[in-house]
Each structure stands twice: as C-alpha cells, then as structure tokens.
A and B are shown apart, each in its own frame.
Chain A
Amino acid sequence: MTLLRRLAPGVPWIPWLPVAGLVGLLAWAITDRPDFASRHLYLRAGLLLAALGLSFAFDDPVAPTTDSVPSPLRLRRLLRAVLSLVPWSLCIAVLVWAGSRDGVDPVLILSSTADRPQLPVGRLILEAGTMAAWGLALASVFAKRWDEEPGKLASVALLAMYAVSWLVPERWTLWALPNGTQWKASHPWWWVAIGLGAMIVTVASWDSRRQRPALRPGRATGHARSPHGVSTADTSDISPESSVQQVVGRPADQPQSLP
C-alpha cells in the first residue's frame, strides 16, 4: 500500500488530458451515425487514442532514483500499469457508451456475427485490450533498451503499427465488421496479438531491476557539436546530470564506463 501511495503521484496523468479531449470529441461525433458500420472508425480511433495514453504508463523521469528501491521492476511496472488502466478504462467505457446509444444495441459477442444495428462490445474490448497490451509492450521494450521515458517512442511506434495494420490486404485484415466476410477469420489473430503483447510486457519487465546501458565514452565525445553546445545525437534522452557531464566534461578521476 505504501508503494501504491507513493507511486500514484508519479503516474503520468498529463498524457490523458489530450487523449480524453479527443476521445470526448469522438464520442460526441458518433451519436448521429446509424450503426456500427458507420461508427467503427470513430470507435477504433478512440481505442487507439486510449492505447496511446497507456503507452506513457512506464515513463519514469526519476528512474535513476527509483531503480535503487528494493521493490522489483515488475512490481513497479505492474502498479504503474494498473494505475494507468483507470483512465484507460474510463476512455473505453465512454466510447462503448457512446457507441451503443441511439438505436445501436450493445451485445457481448466476440466472434459471432451481429446484426447491423448491434455493437459487438466483446470484440471492441478485445481490440482495446490488444492495443493497450501493445502500447505497454512497446513502452517496456523501449524502456529496457533505450529510454527512461519510453512513452514518446512507444506512442509513435504504436501509431505506426496501427497505420500499417489498416494497410494489410483484405484477406488478412484485423479491422473486420460483424457482417463482413473476415469477421470470424480475423478473430483468432486478435487473441494471438493480445497474447503476444502481454508476453512481451511480462518478459521485458521481469528483471529484478532496470538494466541500464553503460555510458560509453564515445557517446559524449564522438558526435559533432551543435550550435546549442550539445551533441548532435538525439538529446531528448539526456538527463540533466549527463548533459552537464557532456558539456562540462568528466572529472579526471571518474571512471569512463559506469555499471
């Protein structure tokens, strides 16, 4: 409980503000559409937005400090994910509520076919869960390898994956409609995708503590200097401490490579 109370303020709430704004707009715009076929673009865009918000769940600007606490990384990640699932669930609930208004009946189906004016809630939640799982999966992978604030990379990667998934040929499409030919065929792929996403999150977060890459001498000195005085490599991942080290230089007695 103590850990939960301490972590709650650390959860990135700010990402949810633009997400909630756009989800709200989508929910508002959806109501004059007559059926799921004409609402699915809105709903599925909303699911993506919610997953984008979730991909910032593992952002931890003070990771160098929290890395030293005795709680394992998987527990901290789990708590962060659970806390971020609250606003995510709210977004999904708003979308399902908006999607099932005005003559569209919500039905809890997964792969069964549905009539035109029915909203396949089960399938929508599966899709939402899959996108969320991949948002977290990408964040955990990027956090492990490249960044202490992986949300930026994870959200762009998720966006790219989403765009690509709409471009696959029709026979492999994931984005089927309940009365379409690919509805049942696409269903197993959603289970595969959510399973894979969940597995990646688990594996990437299983370390007892974050494995931070060692600082290499080349990183500080191997790039051309910019007019701003910092390295031309992407400086977005430079913490204030390391920035100062890059600009000012290392003390002579400090080892070049840190564990």
Chain B
Amino acid sequence: MLASPPSTRAVVLQLARFEVRTALRHQLTWVGSLGSLWLMWILGGDVAPILQRDSVYLAGAMLPLAGATLLVTNYSTLRQRRLPDILDSYPSGPSLRILGVQLGVTGPVLLTLLIQTVGLSYLLTGGPIGGIAWWELAVGPVMVALFGVGGVFLGRRLPHPIVAPVVLVGFAFLQLLASPDAQIFSSELGPVANVEWLAPWMMPSAFEPIEDLAARPSELHLGYLAALALVVVTLALPVKGWARLARLAVAGVFVAVLVGISLNLSSEPKSGFDWSEAAAAQPCSVQDGVEYCAFEFYVDWIPRWQETVAAVDAIAPVTITKVMQRPPNIGFDEEGTLETPGLVLANTHWDRVGATPYHRFDLALLAAHSAVGLPTTRQTRLFTKEEIESIVEQNPEAPGDLRAHLESQPPFPQSCSAIGQARAVVAVWLAATALDHGPEAIQSALERLPTANLFRPGYQHFHLPPTSVGRSDAELALGLLARPMADVQAELVSRWQEVVDPATTSADLASWFGLQAPIYPATEFVELPCL
C-alpha cells in the first residue's frame, strides 16, 4: 500500500528545519558571528554606554553576520542546482525547496537576536544613559534576514559562486560611501540625507549630536528593509505565467515608491537641535568650589567628572573653577570663551565603568595641570618668531610667502610646550595615581602612537590639548608610578616649590628619585614653552 504524500506544510517545515541547522552549523556563520561580536566591541566596548547611539551601533555590528548569511544561503541555493535529478525525486518541489532555504534564514536571525541580547546586556551593566532605540535595534535582525533572502535570490537568478562575493564587495563599498562622514575615509563628500536611508545600515555621523539621532527616519528605514526583503523573497520563488508579470510589477512599484519617498525627504537633517542654545541651557552643579556644566542629555555624567577631579584634588589641590562640556571638533562659542583660565573642557564621550580610563585620564590630567601650575586651556596668542621659522622650515613647498602669511595671522588659541618640564611629569604622575588603571592609560597611549615624540592621552573624540607633553616625560612618569606612591608624594611635597617652577627640568626630577634623565629627540616643531 502506498503511503499518502506528506502535506506541503510538513514538507516546508522539515526543509526549513534542515536549512536552519545547515546555516547555523556553517563555518561562515560562525566567522560572521565572531566578526559581529568584534565589531560590537570596537563600536562600544570600552566607552560609557549611550543607549540611543549604541542601539544604532548594535544594529550596524550585525553587518558581518549579514554578509556571512548571504554567502551561506547563496551556497545552499547553488547546492540545490547541482543535484536537481536527485532532489526532484523527493516530495519537495523547486518552490518548496527555495522556500525552505528562505525560511532557513530564521537561524541566523535568531543568532543575531542572541548576539544583540548579549550586547545589550553588556551595555546595561556599564552605567548607561539615554534609552534604547528599538526601531534602530530591530534593523540588525531585519538586515540579516534581507541579506539571507538576497543570497537565495542571487543563487536563483545568477547561479555562480562568484556572484555573492562580488555583490558583497559592492554592498560594503556602497555602505562605506553612504556614511555621512565619508570624508574621513577619503576626500569625497558624504551623501545627502535623503538617500542615506537606502543603505542597509544608516551609519550615524561622528559629528552629529545624540539628539539628532531622533530625527533619523528609523521607522521608514526599517520598513524599507522589511519590504525589500519581501520583494526579494517573491522574486526568488519560481513562478509561471501571469505571476511573473505580477511579481515584476510589485518590484517596479516598490522601486517607484522608494524614489518618490527619497525625492520628498529633506536633503538636510531636521533635528532642530542647536549647539549654542543647548550650551546656554546647560544645567550646572557646584562641588568643592568647582562648577560642573553638562548638556541636558549628559547630566548623569557630572558625578563621574566630580569624582575624577576629587581624586586628583585628594593628592594635590587643584585650582580649576569650572568643568564645561563641549563637543570636540565643533566650535560655536564666542571668541575667548573656551580660553578662560581655570576652565576645563569635558567632551561628549566618557569611559565605561572599569575600562581603561582614557577620558577620565584626560580630565584628571587637566585637573593635575592646574595643580602644578600648567594652563588648562589653550592660550590666545600670535605665533612666535621661532614657531614661524619652524613652520616655514617644515613646509618648503608651501605656495606663496608662508612667512608673511603666518606673521599676518591674528591671535588664535594655541598650546604651549611643557616638554622637559618637571611639572609636566608630575601632572602625568598625579593623573595616573588618582585613577584606577591610570598607568595602563599611559602605557596604552604610548603604544598607540609608538613613533610620536609627544604624549597624547587623547586620540579620537578629544579636545585639542592646552600643552604639549613629551613622550619621554610620560615614560619618566611611568618610572615614578613603579615606586611606592607615598614615597614619591613625600618627596614631591618636600620640593613642591621646585616642582611647580617652570625652570625645573625633568632631568632634575629624575635625579631626585635616582632615575635616568629622559632623552628628548629633536622635535619637528618648536613651540613656545609654558610659563
């Protein structure tokens, strides 16, 4: 007696189960998952979580897994083309088999949700501010699904294993060009806002305020990805007769709708956020005679700044009057505002609790600057003759009369050189001593720029430093940090007048502790010494 054929639903479910297992077991899926975890770490691993921004990053971090899913589903579809005679003898027809592969995308999508849950849990345990942007977060799994069904579509319509890698290169390239900060990667301009949403992931600009994220067309972008996935699913299924035309018509309407929406969107983001207004409305609080002002969104960070300054103050009294938050690389203040003596600029980034203290170190170093008599802000002044000569010497091929041009420049904020001054070494030591993992922050900064003659604890998302500190000075500070703190502190207190004297050199300081005098390589730029 012949058994009755299995129902279509049973066949599809069985196929889907098999394809889910295949996709999850595939080596490429694991490589993609590792890539996503790595990207997640790079985008938000050791910075203080800001949930609005990090929701966007959590979605973007799924791009490697999405790429891997495209390859896996593509190969699954191609595999079916290689065994048609065998597969045709089974109850699943071509449509059901393709549907099975498409449903197999569920595996990577579930994996995406798992990875994102891990990422979100990590963020929530890191002292976050802001709220989760669910629409942005949902882009991650939808993007993986889209890439997965895209792989099936490519396997059906362009059946060769090279197509998927070539398409991935194209996607990666378009994604890069769709960045609003495309100038970072090359000198070309980024796209206008009304086409950015057509990229698989809407990369946020590093120069936009968090408040601008609310103005992104997140729901529209998510809907677009979901609709595109449905269209791609339909285009991949084998159909005959009028259904083909209907399918093409759906795709045509979809493209027409996209073009229509893009044409009607603004080419400039309309967030309504204004840095000047927000700065004027900053809430402030005073502690130990120091006023702390933050943008409204970042008010929860004020206690963290206070804690950092207090830690330095506990070792050596600081003389700053105000800590004010400003975004790096964006200027909107009146001339001279940011050069007020006693002012310290905090920026719009901070460190995750327990992570290497890059931003905390930067703030602690500026507080320590005030303790040893170094300036905490850049000073508005003209170029000195030595500086002009130095610049001219370094730029022999500069067009026109560079010297005359520099001499005619009006005064503007500039740093001074604390290289070789004992107090610069003490400031670095103070900042590192005041913080947990302070020596690690110095070591990390030195390793990040191994050939630089200057010590730059801030690298990205930092304000321009008010002083130049030599690499050798930071290395000498590390030497001091290797000694018992109480001994170093006692020695410094007993010689405090010498410490804060600009004429006292790092070599003098080294001799007090029996350390080797630092050696300074010839600097390319001669800067006015800090007084």
Binding site for B on A (CB under 8 A): 14-15, 18-19, 22, 26, 33-35, 37-42, 45, 48-49, 52-53, 56, 149, 151-152, 155-156, 159-160, 163, 171, 226-230, 232, 234-236, 238, 243-244, 247
Residues of B within 8 A of A163 (CB): 172
B385: interface (CB < 8 Å): no
Assess whether A45 is in contact with B173, with CB atoms less than 8 Å apart: yes
Complex partner residue of B185 from A19, A39, A41, A52, CB under 8 angstroms: A41
Assess whether B86 is in contact with A53, with CB atoms less than 8 Å apart: no
Once A19-B166, A38-B188, A171-B451 are accepted as A-B contacts, the answer to whether A229 and B86 lie under 8 Å apart by CB is yes
Nearest 3 Cβ contacts at the A-B interface: A152-B161, A15-B162, A38-B187
CB distance from B51 to the nearest CB of A (A): 26
CB distance from B25 to the nearest CB of A (A): 8
B531: interface (CB < 8 Å): no
Assess whether A52 is in contact with B166, with CB atoms less than 8 Å apart: yes
- Tell me, in angstroms, the Cα distance from A18 to B168 when the chains sit together: 12
Q: Of all chain A residues, which has the CB nearest B448?
A: A169
Number of residues of chain B lying within 8 A (CB) of chain A = 43
- Tell me, in angstroms, the Cα distance from A221 to B31 when the chains sit together: 28
Once A22-B166, A156-B165, A232-B18 are accepted as A-B contacts, the answer to whether A41 and B83 lie under 8 Å apart by CB is no
Cβ contacts A to B, 12 pairs, < 8 Å: A22-B169, A33-B187, A35-B187, A52-B166, A152-B75, A155-B161, A159-B168, A227-B92, A228-B83, A229-B89, A229-B90, A236-B79
Assess whether A236 is in contact with B82, with CB atoms less than 8 Å apart: yes
Q: Of all chain B residues, which has the CB nearest A247?
A: B86
Once A41-B176, A159-B165 are accepted as A-B contacts, the answer to whether A228 and B90 lie under 8 Å apart by CB is yes
Residues of B within 8 A of A155 (CB): 161-162, 165
B284: interface (CB < 8 Å): no
Residues of B within 8 A of A229 (CB): 86-87, 89-90
B516: interface (CB < 8 Å): no
Assess whether B165 is in contact with A41, with CB atoms less than 8 Å apart: no
B464: interface (CB < 8 Å): no
CB distance from B89 to the nearest CB of A (A): 8
Residues of A within 8 A of B18 (CB): 226-228, 232
B99: interface (CB < 8 Å): no
Decide if the interface of chain A is mainly helix, strand, loop or mixed: helix
Q: Of all chain A residues, which has the CB nearest B100?
A: A227
Residues of A within 8 A of B75 (CB): 152, 234, 236
Binding site for A on B (CB under 8 A): 11, 14-15, 18, 21-22, 26, 28, 31, 71, 75, 78-80, 82-83, 86-87, 89-90, 92, 97, 100, 158, 160-163, 165-170, 172-173, 176, 185-188, 450-451
Residues of A within 8 A of B87 (CB): 228-229
Most buried by A among B78, B162, B173, B188: B162
Residues of A within 8 A of B163 (CB): 18
Q: Of all chain A residues, which has the CB nearest B173?
A: A45
Q: Of all chain B residues, which has the CB nearest A229?
A: B90
CB distance from B326 to the nearest CB of A (A): 27
- Tell me, in angstroms, the Cα distance from A26 to B166 when the chains sit together: 12
Residues of A within 8 A of B22 (CB): 232
Assess whether B187 is in contact with A156, with CB atoms less than 8 Å apart: no
- Tell me, in angstroms, the Cα distance from A41 to B172 when the chains sit together: 11
Assess whether B14 is in contact with A227, with CB atoms less than 8 Å apart: yes
Residues of B within 8 A of A151 (CB): 161-162
Assess whether A15 is in contact with B173, with CB atoms less than 8 Å apart: no
Q: Of all chain B residues, which has the CB nearest A246?
A: B86
Assess whether A52 is in contact with B451, with CB atoms less than 8 Å apart: no
CB distance from B73 to the nearest CB of A (A): 13
- Tell me, in angstroms, the Cα distance from A234 to B165 when the chains sit together: 19
Residues of B within 8 A of A41 (CB): 173, 176, 185-186
Residues of A within 8 A of B97 (CB): 228
Known: A33-B187, A45-B169, A227-B14. 18 other contacts (CB 8 A): A14-B162, A18-B167, A19-B166, A22-B166, A48-B169, A52-B166, A56-B161, A151-B162, A152-B75, A155-B165, A156-B71, A160-B31, A226-B18, A227-B92, A228-B92, A236-B75, A238-B82, A244-B86
